[in-house]
Amino acid sequence: MKKNIITVLAAVLLSGLTAFGVARTVKSDTTGRTVTYADGTAYRTVNLSETDYPDFTFAAETAVDAVVYVQVSGTQKVQYFNPFADFFPFFGDGSGQPQTREKEFRGSGSGVIIRQDGYIVTNNHVVADASDIQVMLNNNKTFPAKLIGADAATDVALIKIEAEGLPCLPFADSDGLRLGEWVLAIGSPLGRELQSTITAGIVSAKGRSMPNQDGEFRIESFIQTDAAVNPGNSGGALVNKSGALVGINTAIVSTTGSYSGYSFAVPSNIVKKVVDDFIDFGSVQRVMLGITGGTLTAELAKELKLSEPAGVYISEVRKGSSADKAGLKEKDVIVSLDSTNIRTMADLQAKVNSFHPGDKVAVKYYRNSTLESAEVTFFSQTSENGTVQEDGTIVFYGATLKAVEGGVEIVSVGTGKMQEAGAQEGFVIRYVNDQKVSKPEEVVSIAKKTKRAIFIEGVLPNGRPSYFGFGKE
């Protein structure tokens, strides 16, 4: 009997201790909406009050009227191979090379009104090659639109309709987005029939990039969400719970061509900078840091004796670039730019793209396991031909030129037609279209007078004669 009583008491005591432990782990207030979770030795409180549940009605009803349907048409040049051309001359020129023909196209997408006077943001790929752009508002009113500017590197374009007093969306700070934050995607998936469709999701990741298969220069630091996005949503709005614009929906990754659980948006901070440049300057005022590299890997971090694989490893610094003038070198690891932590190459690209020529910012980097800092002065590498830069060099189709003994040296190739033609840094230009040159201004002057092709002759850094050429258009 005593044994049974002791056993019962022990069970009751154990149950009490267990209940106490649970109470220590999960606590509720009188409403049952505030829960405290044990997190190691600390506790964190999550407020589950009704106001914290996502209510998208205000954001949806506020934003939907500012998202438009965009319809485009035009002609595109397409290349094709004719297998019969070598045997039957009337089928082609017999060269065996791809032939070009024009093809009419029609397409559609979405756009976001950002100003009451008719400025609308969309994707570059929505309006590319379009000769006619029509915009339909959410109230079904239709307007012709003109292209103000388009930027392939960020896939952002700006169009305008002649209207006043339009509903518009304010820009939010996309850098402030948090993982798991709720967002809405608004657009016209799969065509006009589904205009003004609203879907919800969370921010799945930030700073995403995607494989670049065409080799073109891209600036990618996408917001990844699980909000349902399909073809036709391109150029539409990604908004936060307040109804402010945090991104422009741009792409999906799918094996079927339709939504498979992932969608990507250009962050609003990148969009705003590009749009402001179009309005203020007529073109994107882009700067380059002037490095080649990639996101630091765990193997490289271990080799460089760094505590974590975060930052951008520099494999090459272009001569005469902003990075070069700031003292950055090969094998340095950039971890901060303008007080913003840099963990990936996408982070770095996005941050650099926010600056204008002449901006001076602090950069922090590791060299030989030691954290160092420097000041970077950005200058344009996409300015008009003949632009004189801060260091006295002159811009020429993306490259920078300076006068040297015996001709004109290519100080930096940059990005543009000079790079595409195979120009090399250190190459000394002696002749442009058979005319001798001794200073950059002469190179620019001859090129301006040329109607079609530019043919450049000179010597490589090793002294060997060489030449290359490219078309002006």
Active-site amino acid positions: 125, 155, 234
Q: Which of 182, 224, 225 is nearest to 207 (CA)?
A: 224
| 463 burial level (CB within 10 Å; 0-12, 13-18, 19+) | exposed
Phi and psi at 307, nearest 5°, equal -70, -30
Q: Are strands 245-252 and 130-136 parallel, antiparallel or unpaired?
A: unpaired
Tokens of 146: 């003109």
What's the count of helices (H) and strands (E) in the chain, helices before strands?
9, 28
For residue 287, the tally of other CB atoms under 10 A from its CB is: 21
Q: Which of 470, 322, 458 is nearest to 396 (CA)?
A: 470
* Residue linked to tokens 């934003």: 63
* Residue 162 to residue 117: CA distance in whole angstroms: 7
Q: Which of 85, 131, 136 is nearest to 113 (CA)?
A: 136
Sign of CA pseudo-dihedral 167, 116, 164, 132 = negative
Query: For 388, what's the count of Cα atoms within 13 Å in the CB-facing half-sphere?
Result: 5
* Residue 138 to residue 62: CA distance in whole angstroms: 12
Classify 432 as helix, strand or coil.
strand
Buried/exposed 436-457: b ≥16 CB within 10 Å, e otherwise: ebeebebbbbbbeeeeeebebb
Contact 340, 376 (CB under 8 A): no
Residue 107's H or E segment, with its range, is strand 99-113
Tokens of 269: 């901070």
User: C-alpha angle 165/167/171, rounded to 5°?
Assistant: 120
* Residue linked to tokens 């700006």: 158
